[in-house]
Structure 1
Amino acid sequence: MLAEVSKNVFLHASQNKALNKAAKKWGLRFGAAQVVAGDTIEHAIKKVRELNEKGLVCTLDHLGEFVSSREEAIEATQYNVRTLEAMGQAGVTCNLSVKMTQLGLDIDRSFCVENMRRILETAKKYDNFVRIDMEDYAHCQMTLDILRELRETFDNVGTVIQAYLFRAEQDVKELKGIPLRLVKGAYQESPTVAFQDKAQIDENYMRIIEEHLLSGTYTAIASHDHNIIAKVKEFAHKNNIPRTQFEFQMLYGFRTDMQLSLVKEGYTMRVYVPFGNDWFGYFMRRLAERPQNVAFALKGFFSK
């Protein structure tokens, strides 16, 4: 009960625009520096290089979402372009994750698509890949529609499917052939569109993982759950699915011991590395996902 209340508090905080705006002025507080790799491209590239040296590959995410002006969206687009250029010039093994609402999806669909095309053109120049992060349910169908439109021109783009959504299994089937990151889901969604029970979410998660792996499509399994990871290993082995067809993904700052263990076992392990000053919403969702994550906040708070 207490865990559920805590989860709801953090999820509501993640959507509070006033708190998000204030947090940009605070700097990385309350333990956020442990899970956000600095506030500049230079800081992020340095962290990525350190992770690469340990055998980990990465994806960078310049934090930010739900922008309300064209100027903000253009600025975010330019920043993502510069991030791709910096990665290419640094020679790090890292791709890019972006959010459509950061690029103006809530302002104008065509405007957002053009911003995304610019990012993908830059990624193509550096032979890199861009992952469109999935956001809340309200943006799900729009995101998938835009993905399909972009895939007509670009093959270096994929997206994310959230297992807690009832529609997830059908979406995975329809997106056969497109690289997907499969996650459990981190937003607060209605019982009319999403599973609320952890056991049901886990069951659906394994269902869509197996579906996508058996389709022969490259699959990213993003989870810190050791039980899920063990099941994926077993399923891949039993079905002769090569390790080159999938990878595991985890968040920067979480389960680093398990990340390195997977590398030693010969699996591709990608670290999702967020950076930037728009960190508050991301950090609140991480606290909401698992009660244990609150320890990060308390440690950071009392160390000030």
Structure 2
Amino acid sequence: MEAISKNFFLYLSNNKMLDRMAKRFGTRFGADKIVGGETFPQAIPLIKQLNEEGLVVTVDHLGEFVDCESESRDRAGECIRSIQQIAAHQLQSEVSLKLTSLGLDISHELVMENMELILKEAEKHGITVTIDMEDSSRCGATLDIYKALKKDYPNLGTVVQSYLYRSDQDLDDLNEYDPYLRLVKGAYKESGKVAFPEKKLVDDNLKHLIRKNLLNGNYTAIASHDDAIVAYTKQLVKEHDIPNDRFEFQMLYGMRTQMQADLLKEGYKVRVYMPYGEDWYGYFMRRLAERPANIAFAMKGIFSK
């Protein structure tokens, strides 16, 4: 039943008609509980509040699969403006982005041009930029771009997904780049030809990747709400005397807030992933697909309006 529910919401995440309707009605129906707003200024007070609580943030201007050059440039401009506002408001925040929003599906030259503009601005302000990972068909191109840019921009990170078979080899290939890596399970619908079909295998591989990257000495962001993954990481760093400044936990805005607070009290660094923007629909559907409990969370949002 859980697999059926997941596939259903992943299917809905790609429904363009529902996406258009979502933009029309805005972030009601529960999405405003997990999205920072439709504009960056709307997110600023939320980021400040999280910072006051001791949490750091990464913001993501939602949107992907852009097929228009002018739109990709507009989205690059939005990333640059968000970086400038982070600096102006002295927010403890990084920036995350998706390459398909910056022209990955249009041309290599375009996405590289947009990325360099963003990274130069981020470098001026000492802000880290993380390239989010998308579906498996774009994984290779994403990592190639990361490698090409990392040598000139040390303030660049990326993501490795544990549900992909290739991720262990990707970790080996990235090791020479002194990578800043966010390790996640993965949230796209993938074929059994490229991804582990069973949750236990995905979980086991995430533990393997966390261990490998930390013991390689690379900065690691463990992005999971899973109690078992968090407990595993805490035990691992204790056993190997890995200092707290070599890793962090990352969790989604609006989810597992008590766990975030508990980890802070225990002395761990916790970063909240806060998306914003009008294109929140696909993100919201994938969150519903990830955890059945999120469906009840969304329904509560609908009927509390």
When normalised by structure 2's length, the TM-score is 0.98
Q: Distance in 2 between matches of 1:185 and 1:167?
A: 13
Paired position in structure 1 for 2:51: 52
Identity, in percent, stands at: 50
Paired position in structure 2 for 1:27: 26
Q: Distance in 2 between matches of 1:88 and 1:296?
A: 33
Counting matched residue pairs gives 303
Paired position in structure 2 for 1:301: 302
After TM superposition, give the deviation of residue 303 of structure 1 in Å: 2.6
Q: Distance in 2 between matches of 1:238 and 1:94?
A: 30
CA distances 1:181-216 after superposition (whole Å, capped 9, x unpaired): 000010010000000101111110000000000011
Paired position in structure 2 for 1:78: 77
Structure 2: runs of 5+ lacking an equivalent: none
After TM superposition, give the deviation of residue 172 of structure 1 in Å: 1.0
Secondary structure of 2:172's counterpart equals: helix
Paired position in structure 1 for 2:146: 147
Q: Distance in 2 between matches of 1:151 and 1:3?
A: 39
Tell me whether 157-166 or 294-303 shows the greater mean CA deviation. 294-303
Secondary structure of 2:251's counterpart equals: strand
Paired position in structure 1 for 2:260: 259
Asked whether the equivalents of residues 95 and 129 of structure 1 are also in contact (C-alpha less than 8 Å), the reply is yes
Paired position in structure 2 for 1:215: 216
Q: Distance in 1 between matches of 2:7 and 2:18?
A: 16
Asked whether the equivalents of residues 286 and 293 of structure 1 are also in contact (C-alpha less than 8 Å), the reply is yes
Matched, 1:95 2:94: yes
Asked whether the equivalents of residues 30 and 296 of structure 1 are also in contact (C-alpha less than 8 Å), the reply is no
Paired position in structure 2 for 1:190: 191
Asked whether the equivalents of residues 8 and 288 of structure 1 are also in contact (C-alpha less than 8 Å), the reply is yes
After TM superposition, give the deviation of residue 75 of structure 1 in Å: 0.8
Matched, 1:161 2:163: no
Tell me whether 38-47 or 126-135 shows the greater mean CA deviation. 38-47
Paired position in structure 2 for 1:69: 68
Matched, 1:7 2:29: no
After TM superposition, give the deviation of residue 17 of structure 1 in Å: 2.1
Paired position in structure 2 for 1:181: 182
Paired position in structure 1 for 2:283: 282
Q: Distance in 2 between matches of 1:236 and 1:152?
A: 28
After TM superposition, give the deviation of residue 46 of structure 1 in Å: 1.2
Letter aligned with residue 159 of structure 2: V
Q: Distance in 1 between matches of 2:59 and 2:52?
A: 16
Q: Distance in 2 between matches of 1:178 and 1:200?
A: 24
Asked whether the equivalents of residues 173 and 211 of structure 1 are also in contact (C-alpha less than 8 Å), the reply is no
After TM superposition, give the deviation of residue 21 of structure 1 in Å: 2.4
CA distances 1:10-47 after superposition (whole Å, capped 9, x unpaired): 10111122222221111002200000011111111111
Asked whether the equivalents of residues 163 and 208 of structure 1 are also in contact (C-alpha less than 8 Å), the reply is yes
Paired position in structure 2 for 1:233: 234
When normalised by structure 1's length, the TM-score is 0.98
